[in-house]
Structure 1
Amino acid sequence: MELLLIRHAQAESHRFDDAARVLTEKGELQARSVGEFLKKNKLLPEVTLASPLIRAKQTAEIFCDVCGLDAPVIEPWLACGMRPNRAAAELKAYAEFERVAIVGHEPDFSYLAEWLLGCEAGGIHVRKASVIQISDVRPPSQGGYLQMLVPAKVHRAVSE
């Protein structure tokens, strides 16, 4: 499986209920840029999974719409606090797909990427609206190959 880790786009900085934080105008543009980048580079996922938190769900819905993809599947295990071994175990249910996108949060995605790639903790930081492509992921096992890490600034410039 090829795994695309997409961190949610920019959201409101504060709200009493963290799960209800929505994307800002900039965040909506970032999510569109993710979709344009994936479409232009023929990196469309067969299925997109998203955290139930509003900012991740909105990011996934926007880029799926831009790409003409089915709506994202909301997965509770992608909420804040996801652990790499849990993610790998849950991804096993999607092993029949060649390319899977997951939309979620930090520091969870850094931990997952480091775990899959066998990196030391603190070696990867996933910025908002970044896309990480890891190939040869075989859930629930550890392992994979980093193909790219594209921050929002770069995919926005490439898509223009």
Structure 2
Amino acid sequence: MELILLRHGKAEDFHPGGDGDRALVEKGIKQSRQAGALLLKLDRRPDVVLTSPRLRAKQTAEHFCEAAEMPGPVIQPWIDCGMDPETAIKELAAFIDFERVMLVGHEPDFSSCVEWLLGVSGSGVEVKKGALVAMEVHPPAWHARLLFLVPPKLMR
């Protein structure tokens, strides 16, 4: 399985309704659409897009899907802030029949997941807002090989 991580785009710094209601700003919308356009151009669109329930992640996933010309995302509560690698792997087992699966979520969860899957915990991996990370993962051991990490600045 190819696992693609897309960190949500740039969002509001504050929302009176709380962290879960922070919306994307224009830059975040642009980042999300650029990621979708890139994977469409490279013919590497995921088979399914799974997203955190937080507004900024849902909006990122929706803009990505629109730009990538694919069906909308599926909300998965386990991708919310605080996702740990072990939980992610257990939940991803349900999607094992897909060739490419995308998760849209948050930091520091994604960096921890990348480090855990690559076996390089504590190495200082940081997934920037709007960045794409793709890994080839091999169940049942769930070890991975990095395919690419593209920061949003290179998607312009």
Normalised by the size of structure 1, how large is the TM-score? Answer: 0.94
Tell me if the contact between 2:134 and 2:148 (Cα under 8 Å) persists in the aligned partners: yes
Kindly report which structure 2 residues correspond to 1:137-148, keeping only aligned pairs within 5 A, or say none.
137-138=138-139, 141-148=141-148
Deviations 1:43-100 (A, max 9, x none): 1000000000000000000010111111101000000000000000000000000000
Which residue of 2 is the match for residue 10 of structure 1? 10
Aligned residues: 155
CA distance in 2: counterparts of 1:55 and 1:129, whole angstroms: 11
Q: CA deviation at 1:138?
A: 2.0
CA distance in 2: counterparts of 1:12 and 1:90, whole angstroms: 29
Tell me if the contact between 2:40 and 2:69 (Cα under 8 Å) persists in the aligned partners: no
Deviations 1:88-119 (A, max 9, x none): 00000000000000000000000000000001
Which residue of 2 is the match for residue 107 of structure 1? 108
SS at match of 2:110: helix
Tell me if the contact between 1:115 and 1:142 (Cα under 8 Å) persists in the aligned partners: no
Which residue of 2 is the match for residue 90 of structure 1? 91
CA distance in 1: counterparts of 2:137 and 2:149, whole angstroms: 16
Q: CA deviation at 1:120?
A: 2.5
Between the aligned residues of both structures, percent identity stands at 47
Counterpart amino acid of 1:104?
Answer: G
Counterpart amino acid of 2:108?
Answer: P
Tell me if the contact between 1:110 and 1:126 (Cα under 8 Å) persists in the aligned partners: yes
Structure 2: 5+ residue stretches without partners: none
Structure 1: 5+ residue stretches without partners: none
Normalised by the size of structure 2, how large is the TM-score? Answer: 0.96
Which residue of 2 is the match for residue 78 of structure 1? 79
CA distance in 1: counterparts of 2:40 and 2:93, whole angstroms: 25
SS at match of 1:120: coil
CA distance in 2: counterparts of 1:42 and 1:10, whole angstroms: 25
Q: CA deviation at 1:137?
A: 3.5
Q: CA deviation at 1:2?
A: 0.3
